[in-house]
Structure 1
Amino acid sequence: MGDLFRQGAGRLCLDFTRTLRQRGTGGAVEELADGPSLAAWVAQCGPVAPVPGSVVPAPIVRDAQQLREAVYELVAAARTPVGAAAAGEEARERVNQAAARSVPIPALGEDGELRWYVNDPLTGTLALIARDALDLVSSPAARRIRECADPECRELFLDTSRPGSRRWCSMDSCGNRAKKQRRRTEAVAIR
């Protein structure tokens, strides 16, 4: 089975914000609509997968969605000249509270493999996301947060390119789509 959720934004917190696709449009798509979808995201993107078949209560799903929106607000504020201080108090408080929860603990096994341990993989992963967001918006890397130039995407990503001029969240999808569109436009202009 392939990945269900988009990754590759450069930070866990930015990958998490991608679970609301086409944000700000009438066609927004909620990828964390229920417990199974939240558990699937954590299994794919977090360090510790939830126990298969475990039930995720609706309040945990709502908490995850609200945290995602608070993280998005915080990251969007960090992109402004004022910085993360421009985020609303409610968003800051929600992220701070989530960051205070227990996180997965790494340990090196006898075989040399890194393993992660946590009592509650969902809450632990949400805490990691919150901590990652706090770290990102308070670091110089915040100046490298970009919005994808594809008008159908507009997802946030961390530009780690040397010149800092990356335009697309992914060359495989958005960048390729733009190249194809440019070629079609050039072909029509030549005719």
Structure 2
Amino acid sequence: MILRTFKGRAFRFDPGALCLELLLTSDPGGLPWSLETLREPADLVRWAGESRLPDGPRLSVDATDLDRAHELRGALWRMTIARARGEELAPHDTDVVNAAAAEAPLVPAMTSGGERTWAAAGATGTAMLSVVARDAVDLFTGPYAHRIRVCEAHNCALHFVDTSRPGRRRWCAMGRCGNRNKVRAHRARLTGPGDAGE
């Protein structure tokens, strides 16, 4: 997904899972800013179009779906933070995910051109959230469950799943936090410990 910094600079960020893309619509709370992009049902439709979900018929989303999205997103935030810290998941949060996953999901379909889409019948916000929740079940119970990370930059709160072969990804995006850290480390090496007072 394409994200923007507070200064408006665009950068590409791939959290590695659909369920983690939902986190990009808010912050985890307790931060000095408030990021909320799901304010009305149309915002959830827009997010679905920008996410890694395949293109498909327009979703039918109502206020109840928006409330469910907020509840699912809150549970996913808490689960992601807990997993990144190596902590157990809270039963209430897994109950929220399981309830959403139990709903009928979007029905996969194929176009005559061989492209993946979903069937128009049942293309609701509830069905889309079921797909997101099922992705969360796969992530949090799968082989990468122990690789859910938070970016190591001191001023970044982005979470991702590390799918790299060595499992040592540290940054949300190399073009953003990774490069800034490299520049900082390079400058520190150039100035050296004895140059600080000069």
Select 1:142's aligned residue among 142, 145, 160: 145
Aligned-pair distance for 1:67?
A: 0.5
Deviations along 1:134-172, one digit per CA (max 9) or x if unpaired, are: 111112211111111122222211111111111001112
Deviation at 1:18, TM superposition (A): 2.3
Q: Of residues 33, 41, 46 in structure 1, which corresponds to 2:47?
A: 41
- Code of the aligned partner of 1:166: R
Higher-Rg structure is 2
Superposed displacement of residue 97, structure 1? 0.8
% of aligned pairs identical? 35
Q: Which residue of 1 aligns with 2:73?
A: 68
Q: What corresponds to 2:132 in structure 1?
A: 129
CA contact (8 A) 1:148 1:156 kept: yes
When normalised by structure 1's length, the TM-score is 0.80
CA contact (8 A) 1:42 1:122 kept: no
2:18 is aligned with 1:18:
no
- Could you tell me how far apart the structure 1 residues matched to 2:43 and 2:184 are? 33
Question: TM-score, with normalisation over the residues of structure 2?
Answer: 0.78
List alignment gaps of at least 5 residues for structure 1: none
Q: Distance in 1 between matches of 2:57 and 2:92?
A: 29
Alignment-mate amino acid for residue 39 of structure 2:
A
Distance of 1:33 and 1:99 partners within structure 2 = 23
Q: Secondary structure at the match of 2:166?
A: coil
Distance 2:67 2:146 in 1: 30
CA apart distance, 1:112: 2.0
Change (3 A) 1:51 1:108: closer
How far, CA to CA, are the matches of 2:36 and 2:19 in structure 1?
A: 16
For 2:145, give the aligned amino acid. A
* In structure 2, C-alpha distance between the alignment counterparts of 1:26 and 1:49, rounded to whole Å: 37
Distance in 2 of aligned mates of 1:49 and 1:111? 13
Find the aligned partners of 1:50 and 1:90 in 2 and give their Cα distance: 33
**More deviation in 141-150 or 40-49?**
40-49
Decide whether the 8 Å contact of 1:74 with 1:91 is kept in 2: yes
Count of residues in Structure 1 that have an aligned counterpart in Structure 2: 185
Instruction: State the distance in 1 between where 2:57 and 2:74 align.
Output: 23
Question: CA RMSD, aligned part only?
Answer: 2.8
Deviations 1:58-105 (A, max 9, x none): 3322221111011222233334555xxx32222111111100112122
- One-letter amino acid matched to 1:154: A
CA offsets per residue over residues 110-144 of structure 1, 9 Å max, x none?
A: 32222222523422221111111111111221111
